[in-house]
Amino acid sequence: MAGGIRLDLDGRPVAPLKICMIGAGGFIGSHLCEALMWETHHTVIAIDVSGDKIEHLLKEGSPWSDRISFHAFNIRHDSRLETFIRVADLTINLAAICTPADYNTRPLDTIHSNFVDALPVVRMCADYNKRLIHFSTCEVYGKTLANFLPRDSLARQDPRYFVLKEDQTPYIYGPVELQRWSYACAKQLIERVIYGESMENGLQFTIVRPFNWIGPRMDFIPGIDGPSDGVPRVLACFSTNLLRGEPLKLVDGGRSQRTFVYIKDAIKAVMLMIENPERANGHIFNVGNPKNEATIRELAEMMVDVYSRVSGEPIPETPMLDISSQAFYGEGYDDSDRRIPDMVIIQRQLGWEPQTPLPDLLEITLKHQYLTYAAAVKASMAAERAD
């Protein structure tokens, strides 16, 4: 496919683009780089502090090796950023601290990463008249209105109180003491700056709000390819528990609800944004799968079941246990109760719809986790016992 003629949604050929991708070595960035190398003729200037997750794309002699270059640096301290934004047609900014365990324990780093460090990127795109695709988050919506209605209120079933619409839903956060919301506030403020730059200075932008994209290469397994005291997002936390044969920990009973979308479905939405600027510019897009809703307890039950099938290991006697958010995350944690994306805008502008049901995406992901990590986790546990 790479090198062939690509058409946009209106049947016009898509010219080859030079893309400056910041945060290209992360979970989403690695899948986006794969799609861009394997399916298109576009060129990527990949920036990240670490390139481990895209190492397989950087091998010399691969058919796309002249279309991707990796630059290991921190955008906070490096003047190369400006050069790369200036020579590119499009900048995609994925760089962020985006793990909830950091929001309440490292609120300053969280705000700096999601707002202060993103600000010069927005400014440079506006100054050099370059298009920007900026990654925000579904977390900007905070809690739902339904969460504040009486338990027995029928209005709790009314989608107007819980479906999250880009251009209508108000944002509801907790007080400053609940520092969980430092991330949402920082992302919201950078969205408002981008919107202001567009209105006042003509910046061409698209904002993406991912709703729990999951799949292989998400985060890390503590002690194997990340710090042993690190706390990744829920998929990697539960994967770690399964690989170690430990109970999955349900924070505050696992009552919160999420919708999960398969990373490869979500990447198709981003590709449509990249190649259809006339349809994507000036828009904020929810990208999620409203059909894949589960409580965290239900997610845990499914993962226990699927993991037992893919690993051939029996389901442990105590597969899950409850833990308070205070014990798991510490002071200042709070939670989004429910996240259902409204899909009207993305369907209207880009005709995108996610395809993969939750059981299928868990099967693919847990097979990957087992094949990638099971042997290393066993060896690490044996070494722990020997110490």
Contact positions vs ligand UDP (CB under 6 A): 100, 139, 212, 233-234, 237, 249-251, 254, 256, 258, 296, 335-336
Which residue, 156 or 268, has its beta carbon nearer to ligand NAD?
268
Query: How far, in whole angstroms, is CA 138 from its chain's centroid?
Result: 10
Closest by CA to 20, choosing from 46, 59, 39, is 46
Name the burial class of residue 386, with classes exposed (0-12), middle (13-18) and buried (19+) by CB atoms within 10 angstroms of its CB: exposed
CB 25 → ligand NAD: shortest distance, Å? 4
Contacts of 44 (CB under 8 A, 6+ apart): 19, 21, 24, 33, 36, 37, 67, 68, 69
- Taking CB within 5 to 8 Å according to partner kind, which of ligand UDP, ligand NAD, none is near residue 249? ligand UDP
- Taking CB within 5 to 8 Å according to partner kind, which of ligand UDP, ligand NAD, none is near residue 142? none
Which residue, 50 or 326, has its beta carbon nearer to ligand NAD?
50
CB 75 → ligand NAD: shortest distance, Å? 4
Lookup: tokens for 97: 């601290």
Name the burial class of residue 324, with classes exposed (0-12), middle (13-18) and buried (19+) by CB atoms within 10 angstroms of its CB: exposed
Task: Give me the helix-helix angle, 234-244 and 358-386, nearest 10°.
Answer: 50
Sign of the CA dihedral running 76, 228, 367, 253: negative
CB 337 → ligand UDP: shortest distance, Å? 9
Q: What are φ and ψ of residue 285, in 5° steps?
A: -120, 125
| 124 scored as a contact of ligand NAD (CB under 6 A) | no
- Maximum alpha-carbon separation in the chain: 64
| 135 scored as a contact of ligand NAD (CB under 6 A) | yes
C-alpha 170/C-alpha 52 separation (Å) is: 38
Number of residues that bind ligand NAD (CB under 6 A): 25
| 100 scored as a contact of ligand NAD (CB under 6 A) | no
| 341 scored as a contact of ligand NAD (CB under 6 A) | no
CB 279 → ligand UDP: shortest distance, Å? 28
Q: Which stretch binds ligand NAD (CB under 6 A): 19-27, 83-91, 172-180, 365-373?
A: 19-27
Which positions from 204 through 263 interact with ligand NAD, judged by CB under 6 A?
210, 212-213
CB 261 → ligand NAD: shortest distance, Å? 8
From the list 103, 141, 173, 183, the catalytic residue is 183
**What letters, b where the CB count within 10 A reaches 16 and e where it falls short, cover 226-264?**
eeeebbbbbbbbbbbbbbbeebbbbbbebebbbbbbbbb
Which positions from 24 through 83 interact with ligand NAD, judged by CB under 6 A?
25-29, 47-50, 74-76
C-alpha 269/C-alpha 290 separation (Å) is: 15
C-alpha 303/C-alpha 241 separation (Å) is: 10
173 is catalytic: no
Which residue, 210 or 216, has its beta carbon nearer to ligand NAD?
210
Which residue, 101 or 381, has its beta carbon nearer to ligand NAD?
101
| 310 scored as a contact of ligand NAD (CB under 6 A) | no
From 137, 241, 259, 286, residue interacting with ligand NAD (rule: CB under 6 A): 137
Report strand pairing: 213-214 vs 257-259.
unpaired
Give the residues lining the site for ligand NAD (CB under 6 A). 23, 25-29, 47-50, 74-76, 94-96, 98, 113, 117, 135, 137-138, 210, 212-213
Active site residues: 183
